[in-house]
Amino acid sequence: MPVSKIKEHILVHRHMIVVLLACLFLGFQFPPEGITTEGWKVLTIFILTLGLIITKTFDMGIVSLIALSLCLITGAMDIDFCLQNFSYQVTWLVLMAFFISKGFILSGLGSRIALFMASKIGSTPLKLSYALMFSEVLIAPLIPSNTARGGGLIFPIAQSLGENIFGKPHGLGRNKHHMTSYLLYNCFQSNLISSAIFLTAMAGNPMIVSMGQQFGITINWTDWFQAAIIPGLICIFLTPLISYLILKPKKVDLNDIKQKTEEAYRALGSFSIKEKIMAFTFCSLLLAWIMGAKIGINPTAAAIIAVTFLLVTGVLSWNDISTDSQAWTTFVWLSVLFTLSAALKNHGVISWFAAGVGSFMPEANWVVLLIILTLVNFYVHYFFASLTSHITTFFQPLMMIGMQLAVPLKPLLLALAFSTSLSAGLTHYGTGTSTIIFGSGYWNLKDWWVAGFIHSSLMLVVFLAVGLPLWI
């Protein structure tokens, strides 16, 4: 191979090479007191996995298989332990929810809901924002990818409406003061708030529930919803008011707003049979999840039945779900990350880490300690481009530190869970939705980061101030 080609390969994979060398060095060290040899191997593989995820050296699915293979090669786990979480109910619930979200998009029901809300209440920029934001909240329970929901469904509708109603900005006029910028930013923040409100609105939420079970905390869909709905709705109502003060959008002519939103909705025509079936499935499944604990319906079983119904009625085809690479990739990496997390806990790695960090925490009331841990979890997202890697890295250690400091674990779990979703609003790379909306070109980097810091921090204050008394 020519020297130039070798140099090119080294440059392309330099991040992976650094991570591999660091992990090889760590793996050959003797494990510290309190960690088994197997635990030290798992920790090494876990760090390697995180490094590959953060540097985006390979796709998530490939990284997951690399992690499993290394566990088998090093003897850190046997094959039964490696595969046990592939039958875990939570991973199947997330997989089914991805397929249902595809039904929303392919049937056109998701677009119809957003445009209907806009046509009915979107007579001013403020009301149009609320219409799109509540459309986001309405469809969030059945779309577990905040990127698919916010970036793939709501964003194109909001941008098209905004530029059709408020005009297309030109050149340097494309900035944060344009009314479409205001509209898009509100949709972005509502995407993160709705991810916090519903257990099934973000793929990482079930991971948090699964990890919580390792601490003896059981939270179902209804428990999560009841804990988040009040602070979540307050944040939804406050978001357009706060962003108006931050972005200071220019005033616009209001005469054509209602007419243009109504025209956009009428252009959809009448309900198709697939939309009607999808609407029936949506309402039935949501009812099953809300009432499931009382009437004995398993949420994962209900989701499987719903997907089967969509397949039989032709809303979805087998090709639609068999080729959904995002859904299957999420299923694989969720299963693998659950496995790695369980192994780290079983071998004492998490408790060892938590004890070390916890010794540096101040002596204080548990509420103060909970707030400190939540703030750490929130602002550390500046270093992450993925909510998944954030949850995988910090959730268990922070929970263990809280346990060491006698912080009640259920309110801590909820505070960490909700703060994780909200933290994605801090930067333009915090989640896929932020990358898409920032990429529309209305903001420079400074504007987005300043708005993100102020707005997201205020949302966290609302969740803690309003939610914490409810969670105790």
pLDDT in tens, 195-239: 999 998 988 898 899 889 888 999 989 999 999 999 999 999 999
Averaged pLDDT for residues 391-407:
87
The per-residue pLDDT for range 9-19, each reduced to its tens digit, is 444 455 555 55
- Hey, what are 253's tokens? 């002519």
Residue 363 in domain? no
User: What percent of the chain stands above pLDDT 70?
Assistant: 87
Is the pLDDT at 247 greater than 70? The verdict is yes
Three-state DSSP at 425 gives coil
56 or 430, which is more confident?
430
pLDDT of residue 303: 85
Give Cβ neighbours of residue 388 (< 8 Å, ≥ 6 apart): 53, 60, 203, 204, 207, 333, 337
Residue 452 in domain? no
174 or 455, which is more confident?
455
Is the pLDDT at 309 greater than 80? The verdict is yes
In the chain, the number of structural domains is 1
Residue 335 in domain? no
Q: Which of 113, 156, 110, 114 is nearest to 132 (CA)?
A: 114
- Hey, what are 322's tokens? 């068999």
238 or 386, which is more confident?
238
Give Cβ neighbours of residue 21 (< 8 Å, ≥ 6 apart): none
Residue 453 pLDDT level (bands cut at 50, 70, 90)? very high
Q: Which of 221, 197, 217 is nearest to 90 (CA)?
A: 221
Provide the domain limits for residue 259: 89-324
Is the pLDDT at 302 greater than 90? The verdict is no
Is the pLDDT at 472 greater than 50? The verdict is yes
Residue 146 in domain? yes
User: What percent of the chain stands above pLDDT 90?
Assistant: 29
Q: How far apart are the first and last CA of the chain?
A: 64
In angstroms, the CA 288 to CA 401 distance is 36
432 or 215, which is more confident?
215
The per-residue pLDDT for range 337-375, each reduced to its tens digit, is 778 877 877 777 766 766 666 666 767 789 999 999 999
Q: Which letter does DSSP use for residue 153 in this model?
A: I
The per-residue pLDDT for range 175-184, each reduced to its tens digit, is 778 888 999 9
Averaged pLDDT for residues 428-436:
83
Burial class (CB in 10 A: 0-12, 13-18, 19+), 323: exposed
Cα-based torsion angle of the residue sequence 406, 410, 415, 417 in order, rounded to the nearest 10 degrees:
120
Averaged pLDDT for residues 139-154:
83
Residue 161 in domain? yes
Is the pLDDT at 29 greater than 90? The verdict is no
pLDDT of residue 27: 53
Residue 175 in domain? yes
**CA torsion sign, 119 to 121 to 125 to 129?**
negative
Burial class (CB in 10 A: 0-12, 13-18, 19+), 227: buried
In angstroms, the CA 7 to CA 11 distance is 6
Q: What is the pTM assigned to this prediction?
A: 0.75
Residue 20 in domain? no
The per-residue pLDDT for range 81-98, each reduced to its tens digit, is 888 878 877 778 778 877
**CA torsion sign, 453 to 458 to 459 to 463?**
positive
Q: Which of 126, 131, 246, 143 is nearest to 194 (CA)?
A: 143
Residue 432 in domain? no
